[in-house]
Structure 1
Amino acid sequence: MLQERDEILETTIKDVVNKVKTRQIKATDLTTYFIERIKNIDSKINSVITIEKEKSLKRAEEIEFIVNNNKDLDKFPLLGVPLIIKDNISTKDITTTAASKILSNYKPTFNATVITKLIDAGAIIIGKANMDEFAMGSSNENSAFGPVKNPWNLKKVPGGSSGGPAASVASRLCIGSLGSDTGGSIRQPAALCGIVGLKPTYGLVSRFGLIAFGSSLDQIGPMTKNVEDCAEILEVIAGYDNADSTSSKIEIPKYSKEINKEIKGMKIGIIENLFGEGVEEGVNTSVNESISILKDLGATVSKTRIPLLEQAVSIYYLIAPSEASSNLARYDGFKYGFSNKSSKTIWETIEFTRGEGFGDEVKRRILIGTYALSSGYYDAYYKKAQQVRTLLTESILNEFKKYDVLISPTSPCVAFDLKSKVDNPLAMYLNDICTIPANIAGIPAISIPCNFSDNLPVGLQIMGPHFSESKIMNVGNSIQKISNWHKQKPKI
């Protein structure tokens, strides 16, 4: 059995891999430990939909065979690392629901490209994480499998839509996780749960096998305890994929080696219009502490205002629902997933299946999108939103002529009470005000823990130009080297 179990919970991916390689830890023991931990703890937070005990233990046995019979173990950078995957990323023969009744029994016949890459790197998938249905939400209260609770305070939300991955990493139910981010769905829950979450540049990581929400906005990314682990996972999942037409052909750097550089002389812009009004005082104070650290490290920090930034939420909530209404048209009760069996006609089947299978928030966004795309309104809403998106993207990219990176709070508030915003969609949507701009522009952004407010975690967001993941992770890692906010864990 494992020795020093609690120590394992705090080690980096690199340390875990080294212990598996040198046979200090058996992959089967490590896997069993985390599965038992999920069974003992997750009933409190509901972060995991599916536990894959048999498949993960079989995989762990394969890892042990590799360790005992393979001389070149360096080609397995995630050897034996237990991961939990957001339930909208396809995993072969493992139920993948997108937290929706309409996909409650769906088992894909293929792996998403990122899953294939993780497996090839030696990772072990131990479960699928809860989420907002079809990744639509900012609180993880829109799940057919019940809400996820924040491990720091069980009366609070974990953020969304990747609330399950965030809560599972914060609770140390796994070494790391994968989430998806359409308007902040990795970064906002990472902030509210006190972990690291990275949304890569659009096109850096393959979307093949990701259940689509907003195809021009979606990206898969890592969610981890620290920036080092984030870099290790990104190094594995990044890269061109001919199965994804939006995938970029660029050389992937060794991120894990690029995040230990000095930031002295780096120009950092503070996005002034993402501070102040609407942002909690405790959040402002915590983010300003991180700014002080950056100054102490020799970075040049100054304030800037981005024109049109106030339009980001409006742009997003026209474009994303429009793309969702198209993407979700495939769920009709015939091909796969839930189907209403009492219907007498084709149209009744479609109507009743979608009416019963989709939750309220998904139906709301489909209706918004259908309206924005409809004849007579397309030019006024969807087309106009795309035009303003282009202008805002130019406005954001122009900032990188002056600055290396831009920083802001990740979320305007800390975790809020469960059910406190479910009846006020606008208040819920405004939780993404700081994160949406990066999706609109397709640029990378990372959230790292930066202190606490009311005993709840606060997140700092670092954004950079396209394909500058090394740079933004380097800034985040520089802060983590001289702070211990990321080392705090909830008492659960």
Structure 2
Amino acid sequence: MSDLNGLTLAEARDKLRAGDVSSVELTKAFLGEIEGAAALNAFVHHTPEIALAQAEAADARIAAGDAPAMCGLPVGIKDLFCTKGVPSQAASRILEGFRPEYESTVTQNLFDAGAVMLGKLNMDEFAMGSSNETSCYGNAVNPWRRGNDDAALTPGGSSGGSAAAVAADLCLAATGTDTGGSIRQPAAFAGITGIKPTYGRCSRWGVVAFASSLDQAGPMTKSVRDAAIMLEAMAGHDPKDSTSADLPVPDFEAMLTGDIRGKVIGVPKEYRMDGMPAEIENLWAEGTEMLRDAGAEIRDISLPHTKYALPTYYVIAPAEASSNLARYDGVRYGHRAALAQGDGITEMYEKTRAEGFGHEVQRRVMVGTYVLSAGFYDAYYNRARKVRTLIKRDFETVFAEGIDAILTPATPSAAFGLGEMSEADPIAMYLNDIFTVTVNLAGLPGIAVPTGTDAQGLPLALQLIGRPWEEGDLLNTAYALEKAAGFVAKPAKWW
């Protein structure tokens, strides 16, 4: 690996603007590293020609003095984002061969800011999963290892390919999406930073839908500063997305002072779960002291409806998924099953969806269809919507009482081994979202910051939850936590 691969987004930007390196040189360094990292299975669609053309264009913009924030910086794009003329499958067989004729708003924003696309990244199918084991491309692999154990570990999900690529220095940063923790959990497992912005801060147009009221795009980066830089480039109002907020996008990087004196940080008692590993409990306590030492006031708070968050999420998200995924039927695009003599439209739907959707997607579509069906809509879906309102109100109450941010664990454990959580027990997998789903249900911004390691040397992270639309303040608090924690560990290269 060259020294260029180990740069942060901010460091690479400064070198490009100083003329110390060109975007073409930087891009070639990453393309070479990707070629040797097949064992990680992070990149699933390679776009070297596009990358080099974009890099050349970026060098010309830099030379002309027209260098926006992301100009010349090579990044990876999660396969959930539609990219014009490039396969965009959402890691599903049912979208095999689909090459969009349009660009998602987020990727267009990045390209307008001069970013270079190295390729598309692995993920759980339709973003449904917490371990990147539901992908039609096969598992993405975490670059970290447990001590001297060679067992392959999950990079988390659904943005597992993004997390693995950033942690392994295969790109400077990557896009992710977060429906119930799919940016923050893999970021925690891979020892990187991941922020889910407020719902509506980044456009969902051109992002393959899972659960429309929960999905939100965000950056996955090597540092909090990098997250601030990339989020500003990704965000913005989009008239093509009715849920996109018509609000100005602040200069998030300029807000990173690290000064949090006088800030009030809430610590919710409901996040102290039975059976929580001592390492997670200790990390949380250490993080609390770090913020206190940085000048913040620590206050115990209560979010009483937290215990209902997971069941609420796993009613609402599958319900929305069953509706969104009804469009994949073999008629217009993607996979179509071979039909037998005499088969009609109904058989085509059934065979296409049975062949195209993996087991986890089928499970969630069936659950979602059930909770929306006559006789069960009020008992499950409507009740879950009401509980969601109560969960949101809990956060509104503590923010109204003066809390600036909330500190919690990001995950209930460090990265686990691929295959260690059997498909036969999906509930065990769903519990990985226990600390993150409340943030999506309430539409709030949340960020995972690596702050330590466990006894086996694997990264552990804490989560900060912020007020709606105050990503700048949240990033600054995360910046203070990052500085106090001083996490600099990197995975030892084995791939």
Fold shared per TM-score above 0.5:
yes
**Does structure 1 residue 32 correspond to structure 2 residue 28?**
yes
In the alignment, residue 72 of structure 1 is paired with which amino acid? D
The CA distance in 2 between the partners of 1:304 and 1:278, in whole Å, is 21
My pick for the range that moved more, 273-282 or 402-411, is: 273-282
Residue 6 (structure 1) shift: 4.1
SS of 1:183's partner is coil
The CA distance in 1 between the partners of 2:437 and 2:218, in whole Å, is 15
**Does structure 1 residue 260 correspond to structure 2 residue 236?**
no
My pick for the range that moved more, 442-451 or 480-489, is: 480-489
**Does structure 1 residue 83 correspond to structure 2 residue 75?**
yes
SS of 1:485's partner is coil
SS of 1:400's partner is helix
My pick for the range that moved more, 27-36 or 371-380, is: 27-36
Is the Cα contact below 8 Å between 1:187 and 1:435 reproduced in 2? yes
SS of 1:482's partner is helix
My pick for the range that moved more, 417-426 or 365-374, is: 417-426
SS of 2:101's partner is coil
SS of 1:172's partner is coil
Is the Cα contact below 8 Å between 2:4 and 2:29 reproduced in 1? no
**Does structure 1 residue 432 correspond to structure 2 residue 428?**
no
Q: Decide whether aligned partners of structure 1 residues 490 and 242 sit closer, same or farther in structure 2, where only a CA change above 3 A counts.
A: farther
SS of 2:460's partner is strand
SS of 1:137's partner is coil
What is the correspondence of 1:36-185 to structure 2 with a 5 Å cutoff?
36-41=32-37, 43-68=38-63, 70-73=64-67, 76-153=68-145, 154-185=151-182
Is the Cα contact below 8 Å between 2:91 and 2:137 reproduced in 1? yes
Is the Cα contact below 8 Å between 1:339 and 1:353 reproduced in 2? yes
What is the correspondence of 1:313-462 to structure 2 with a 5 Å cutoff?
313-343=310-340, 344-402=343-401, 403-421=403-421, 422-453=423-454, 454-462=456-464
My pick for the range that moved more, 256-265 or 156-165, is: 256-265
Q: Deviations over 1:294-324 (max 9, x none)?
A: 1111111122221111000010000000000
The CA distance in 2 between the partners of 1:152 and 1:341, in whole Å, is 42
Q: Which runs of 5+ in 1 are unaligned?
A: none
Q: Deviations over 1:386-445 (max 9, x none)?
A: 011111110122111231100100001111121121321111111101000000000000
In the alignment, residue 378 of structure 1 is paired with which amino acid? Y
In the alignment, residue 57 of structure 2 is paired with which amino acid? E
The CA distance in 2 between the partners of 1:411 and 1:483, in whole Å, is 17
What is the correspondence of 1:201-240 to structure 2 with a 5 Å cutoff?
201-240=198-237
The CA distance in 2 between the partners of 1:213 and 1:160, in whole Å, is 14
- Aligned counterpart for 2:483 among listed residues 452, 471, 481: 481
Q: Deviations over 1:360-409 (max 9, x none)?
A: 00000000000000001101010110011111110122111231100100
- Aligned counterpart for 2:190 among listed residues 184, 188, 193: 193
In the alignment, residue 139 of structure 2 is paired with which amino acid? P
SS of 2:117's partner is strand
Is the Cα contact below 8 Å between 1:449 and 1:486 reproduced in 2? no
The CA distance in 2 between the partners of 1:308 and 1:290, in whole Å, is 24
Is the Cα contact below 8 Å between 1:171 and 1:490 reproduced in 2? no
Aligned residues: 484
The CA distance in 2 between the partners of 1:7 and 1:320, in whole Å, is 42
SS of 1:241's partner is coil
For residue 468 of structure 1, what is the aligned residue in structure 2?
470
The CA distance in 2 between the partners of 1:491 and 1:283, in whole Å, is 26
Is the Cα contact below 8 Å between 1:226 and 1:486 reproduced in 2? no
Residue 101 (structure 1) shift: 0.5
Residue 18 (structure 1) shift: 2.5
Residue 141 (structure 1) shift: 0.5
The CA distance in 2 between the partners of 1:430 and 1:112, in whole Å, is 31
My pick for the range that moved more, 357-366 or 27-36, is: 27-36
The CA distance in 2 between the partners of 1:450 and 1:481, in whole Å, is 9
The CA distance in 2 between the partners of 1:482 and 1:459, in whole Å, is 13
**Does structure 1 residue 294 correspond to structure 2 residue 291?**
yes
Q: Which runs of 5+ in 2 are unaligned?
A: 146-150
CA RMSD of aligned residues (A): 1.3
For residue 12 of structure 2, what is the aligned residue in structure 1?
16
Q: Deviations over 1:215-236 (max 9, x none)?
A: 0000000000000000000111
- TM-score normalised per structure 2: 0.95
In the alignment, residue 21 of structure 1 is paired with which amino acid? R
Q: Deviations over 1:278-302 (max 9, x none)?
A: 3221111122222111111111112
Residue 468 (structure 1) shift: 1.4
SS of 2:311's partner is helix
Residue 157 (structure 1) shift: 1.0
In the alignment, residue 253 of structure 1 is paired with which amino acid? P
SS of 2:493's partner is coil
The CA distance in 2 between the partners of 1:484 and 1:102, in whole Å, is 44
Is the Cα contact below 8 Å between 1:195 and 1:486 reproduced in 2? no
Q: Deviations over 1:349-369 (max 9, x none)?
A: 111000000000000000000
Q: Deviations over 1:142-201 (max 9, x none)?
A: 001101111102521111110110011000100000000000000000001110000000
For residue 274 of structure 1, what is the aligned residue in structure 2?
271
Q: Decide whether aligned partners of structure 1 residues 401 and 322 sit closer, same or farther in structure 2, where only a CA change above 3 A counts.
A: same
For residue 148 of structure 2, what is the aligned residue in structure 1?
none
In the alignment, residue 373 of structure 2 is paired with which amino acid? S
The CA distance in 2 between the partners of 1:249 and 1:213, in whole Å, is 23
SS of 2:36's partner is helix
The CA distance in 2 between the partners of 1:147 and 1:18, in whole Å, is 35
Give every structure 1 segment of 4 or more consecutive aligned residues whose post-TM-superposition deviation is greater than 6 Å: none
Is the Cα contact below 8 Å between 2:312 and 2:388 reproduced in 1? yes
My pick for the range that moved more, 401-410 or 270-279, is: 270-279
- TM-score normalised per structure 1: 0.96
In the alignment, residue 7 of structure 2 is paired with which amino acid? T
The CA distance in 1 between the partners of 2:194 and 2:420, in whole Å, is 25
The CA distance in 2 between the partners of 1:490 and 1:473, in whole Å, is 28
Residue 481 (structure 1) shift: 2.2
The CA distance in 2 between the partners of 1:157 and 1:315, in whole Å, is 26
Residue 452 (structure 1) shift: 0.5
